Amino acid sequence: MASPKMFDLSGKVAVVTGGNGGIGRGIALGLAQAGAAVAILARNEEKNRAVVDELANAGVPALAIKLDVTRRDDLRPAMEEAERKLGPVSILVNNAGIAIMGSALNFRAEDWDRVIETNLNSCFFLSQIAAQSMAARKQGKIINIASEYSRFGAQGIIPYAAAKGALVQVTRTMAIELAPHNIQVNAILPGWIETDMTVVAQSGPWFEEIIARTPAGRFGKPEETAGAAVFLASHASDFVTGSIVYVDGGYAIR
């Protein structure tokens, strides 16, 4: 029987990369409201501090660790700091992401590398570190933030689409490998959400196109991604792994 307790995250520790703004902040606050202690990992210290204050208002232990997820050597120390200060991490949300637009014909190699390192490589290596600790405790939840571009091609977005497509495959393959350790690995696939990343699409012809294609007829709010995250972080999803949960107002079905 479903009961609110199934979604209760009291006593759990969550790490959210890019948790200081946009979708990451929405998810961090949702996890905190469900009772989890939350560590956010991102670069901008001012934004980090502001969200830690909001998390603390939810009455849970909260922490920000300054981290650039592209610095691979810094990933393990950041996870260790979260565990030292908050306790064993049983929920990891790989949310930090960037979009650099450009044409496939002359896309700069350094921009390609930056997008792939941020949106794909960091998600795998952080998941690997988290899973080593989760496996020892036979319990864990890894949630990757995918994109409509995990599924569709589009103009001018080649490394972003490549990274997000691969992230879904990372989700599926890690789900299989980690299932015997009782670690569930799933993805949330947001549609168009009002954040800094989508400011350019929030007006003009692009906006009209998106609204016309989205059955719900609007952009989503960052906090509307939190429900799926709480579900995938909780016992309610213990038999759900390798799945993609769409939070997109129906964009992908039209």
CA distances in angstroms from 223 to 67, 137, 195, 247, listed in the order given: 23, 30, 11, 11
* CB closer to ligand NDP out of 20 and 237: 20
The reply to whether 249 sits near ligand NDP by the rule CB under 6 A is no
> What does the block give as tokens for 151?
């599924």
Of 95, 86, 45, 96, the C-alpha closest to 226 is: 95
Of 12, 21, 82, 171, the one binding ligand NDP by CB under 6 A: 21
54-113 binders of ligand NDP (CB under 6 A): 67-70, 95-98
Q: Is 246 a catalytic residue?
A: no
Please pick, from the candidates 15, 31, 36, 118, the single residue that binds ligand NDP as defined by CB under 6 A. 118
Q: How far is the CB of 10 from ligand NDP (least distance, A)?
A: 26
Number of residues that bind ligand NDP (CB under 6 A): 29
As a whole number of Å, the end-to-end CA separation of the chain is 33
Span of 13-21, 100-108, 131-139, 204-212 interacting with ligand NDP by CB under 6 A = 13-21
Residue 24 binds ligand NDP (CB under 6 A): yes
Residue 42 · residue 19 · CB < 8 Å: yes
214 interacts with ligand NDP by CB under 6 A: no
| Residue 243 main-chain phi, psi, to 5 deg | -95, 160
Q: What's at 162, amino acid-wise?
A: A
42 binds ligand NDP (CB under 6 A): yes
Q: How far is the CB of 205 from ligand NDP (least distance, A)?
A: 17
Cα-based torsion angle of the residue sequence 71, 83, 12, 19 in order, rounded to the nearest 10 degrees: -30
Determine the Cα–Cα distance for residues 94 and 92; give it in Å rounded to an integer. Answer: 6
Give catalytic residue positions: 160
Can you give the binding site for ligand NDP, defined by CB under 6 A? 17-18, 20-24, 42-44, 47, 67-70, 95-98, 118, 145, 147, 190, 192-193, 195-198
